[in-house]
Structure 1
Amino acid sequence: MCAEPRLVPRFALTGLPAGHKRFASLCSGGSGMRASRAVIGNRIGVVLCLLYLMIGCQPQQVVKPEKPAVTSPRTTEELITFVERAAALVQARGSEAFPELGRRPSVWSHDDTYLFIAEAGTNRIVVHGADRSRLGADLTTIKGAEGRSFGRWGLEALATRDHAWIFYKRARPAGGAPVWKASYLKRVETSSGESYIVGSGVYDLKVDRRFVTELVDMAVARLQEDGRAALKLVRERDGPFVYMQTQVFVINTRGDVLADPLYPELERKNQINLKSADGRPIQRDLIQLIQTESAGWQTGYLWPRPYGGKAGHKDIYMRRVQVGRQTLGVGSGLYVD
């Protein structure tokens, strides 16, 4: 704030430089002037004082805060949070939320990120943030570029759970060659009784520990629902439990490999003496884990990558599940180097 101007008394001129004394005299009016001139001088002095005091009191430039950048989910955790936020809107507002969730560009739909929503009863797509031509399509008939029936698999998984994962290859919204995509689905019911499936995905999602545990949990749920009949689905290399170089495998406590879609040469054989590339007794370690814990990790095994790739260090997550009278171990893992 600028200080209020005041008249400078004559006794305050002592000790001031000559130039300042002359300026201060203008502000005080000067005692040797006649009354009329003194009044005019005082007024001029006040104006000059105001101008003098206002020098440097320039209006401050208002800096408007920048709008936060619109970001896309990049990790498993971020994708789950993104979909569940959208699902919460649908649960609260029903179809009234559709215009907002389907608008592009928006926080919900931009670049490679978009939502899709289907009616749980008819499986018809009612929102698609990237391609409106898909509206009305039956989710059960949609396949990936490699022919995977991911829509049907997702609905089957949602029959017993409120969330599921689907993996497939698809071109990005801007075009180009199909690439791997992992999508998270969430089933919600509105207060009026309508049921919807809300989903979104990430292209080339990097596998992390949360992803691995989600994949294993989904396979366990399928085994609990369908029993040993689910092993056939787990064995499929192009099935719902394979994503890039990550797969679900199933063993029993005797060391038999009941299903492993990326290493079929190990299937239906006893592998109790199976060792990692660095000589560790991997099969015995995994059996001990499921016998002593309901779930857990074994880390750092040197293991060959699928499709003839170079061996890398791999962390493995196992979960115990009871199927009939048999105790099985359901596992998956990720390369950490």
Structure 2
Amino acid sequence: MKKVLWGALLLLLAAGIGYSLIPREPLPDFSAYAYRDTRRMLTLVHRAAALIEEKGDQAFEDFTADEDKWTLDNAYLYVYALDGTNLYHGGYPDLVGRNLYGFTDLWGKKAMQMIYRETENPNNPFGWVHYIWNAPGSLHPLWKSSCNLRAVMPNGKVVVVGSGLDDSRAEVEFFRILVDDAVALVDSRGKAALPILKSPASHYTILDNRVFVMNLDGSCLIYPGMDITVDASLFDYKDFTGSTPLLELKNRLEDADRATVGMLCQQHAGEHPAKMSIYGRLAQMEGQTVVVGAISPLPQPAWMN
């Protein structure tokens, strides 16, 4: 009997689901996310939202009374009213009662306002927002990737519950959301979208990356990683294998409105070349067809981490 119980426990841990969390089923589909830490945090937020919808304010007392159940090694819960007032904070309890609607990070991102907007974005079902934050007990600012859900309390009050990973590994899905949102912006606002996409304070800059925009001849409207105009074709770029991934992306987009290509490049000096993914889509900018895309890391084998 003990072997059966231990086997069941190991299966739960292998699935990335904390066995101590209150079971709230069914869970949404998290298969788009490669990393266990991401899936565990999504599970935590989903179940916290379910408890808030069941118990209302009482859920905050449950979070505090059973912190081991409602925190992960590198993530804690927070809850905000829609006016920006903090109702519960597992990392900074002193924030409870304070209004953070106008909070601005070091890059100028209005994090709370982005959270409220993204929890209503159908292209971003888990309300992902990326901003700079200090982990509790640290003076070093880090990128924080947070997922956020709206929950309706029994009294009808709507709140946002979320959690974030500090210095998290980039999920390919983060960049899919980024590019799809950028395409919608270009389609609707034309050239006026370009300064928004380039701004470090925008939703379109995450984890030291941002979207790029290029013409069908390879000339660049927004260069990947640099806010300057470069008189060169992106089609000429070659990766470690000698491939021309941006030219390949453009060729694939001749038969589809979206495509993904791989490339091998060195992210930092002295590191092994790493597999990267370029996700791109076609957009219409005032009658001109352009390519909107982003470059994201792919999950690496453990020996390369």
TM-score (norm 1): 0.65
> Does the 8 Å contact 1:237/1:261 carry over to 2?
no
C-alpha RMSD of matched pairs (Å): 3.8
| Aligned match of 1:229 | 192
Q: Does structure 2 conserve the Cα–Cα contact (< 8 Å) formed by 1:245 and 1:305? A: no
Q: CA deviation at 1:221?
A: 4.9
Instruction: Tell me, yes or no, if structure 1 residue 276 matches structure 2 residue 238.
Output: yes
Residue 146 of structure 2 corresponds to: 183
**1:172 equivalent in structure 2:** 135
Q: Residue 291 of structure 1 aligns to a residue in which SS?
A: coil
Q: SS state of the match for residue 143, structure 1?
A: coil
Aligned: 1:292 with 2:255: yes
Residue 127 (structure 1) aligned to one of 88, 96, 99: 88
In the TM superposition, residue 205 of structure 1 has moved relative to its aligned partner by 0.8
Structure showing greater relative contact order (alpha-carbon pairs closer than 8 Å, 6 or more residues apart): 2
| Alpha-carbon distance in 2 for matches of 1:101, 1:223 | 42
Higher helix share: 1
1:208 is displaced (CA, Å) by 3.0
Counterpart Cα distance in 2 of 1:163 and 1:197: 11
Query: For residues 104 and 65 of structure 2, what CA distance do their matches in structure 1 show?
Result: 24
Identity rate, percent: 23
Superposition deviation, residue 206 in structure 1: 0.8
* Aligned CA distance change for structure 1 residues 226 and 93 (closer, same or farther; 3 Å): farther
Identify which of 114, 118, 132 aligns with 1:153: 114
CA distance in 2, matches of 1:188, 1:180: 25
- Shift of the alpha carbon at 1:188? 3.7
Residue of structure 2 aligned with 1:106, choices 46, 65, 68: 68
Distance 1:114 1:89 in 2: 15
Q: Which residue of 2 aligns with 1:213?
A: 176
CA distance in 1 between counterparts of 2:144 and 2:288 reads 34
- One-letter amino acid of the counterpart of residue 216, structure 1: V
| Partner amino acid, structure 2, of 1:210 | E
Aligned to 2:45: 83
Q: Mark the structure with the bigger radius of gyration.
A: 1
Contact 1:141 1:152 in 2 (8 A): yes
Contact 2:42/2:147 (8 A) holds in 1: yes
What does 1:57-76 align with in structure 2 at a 5 Å threshold? Answer: 74-76=36-38
Equivalent pair of 1:74/1:202 in contact (CA under 8 Å)? no
Provide the residue aligned with 1:250 in structure 2.
213
1:225 positional shift: 6.0
How many equivalent residue pairs?
A: 273
For the residues of structure 2 that align with 1:156 and 1:243, how far apart are their CA atoms? 16
Shift of 1:218: 4.1
Q: Distance in 2 between matches of 1:80 and 1:322?
A: 34
> Contact 2:84–2:112 (CA<8 Å) still a contact in 1?
no
Q: Aligned in 2, Cα 1:160/1:209: closer, same or farther, shift over 3 Å?
A: closer
Letter of the 1:214 counterpart? I
Return the alpha-carbon distance in structure 2 between the equivalents of residues 96 and 252 of structure 1: 54
Structure 1 CA distance for aligned equivalents of residues 196 and 172 of structure 2: 23
Structure 1 counterpart of 2:292: 330
Q: What's the CA shift string for 1:98-150, capped at 9, x where partnerless?
A: 32245562322354321111122x12221211222112333332233555432
Does residue 59 of structure 2 align to residue 97 of structure 1? yes
SS in 2 for 1:118: strand
Could you tell me how far 1:280 is from its partner in structure 2?
Answer: 2.8
Residue 314 (structure 1) aligned to one of 271, 276, 284: 276
Offset of residue 171 of structure 1: 2.5
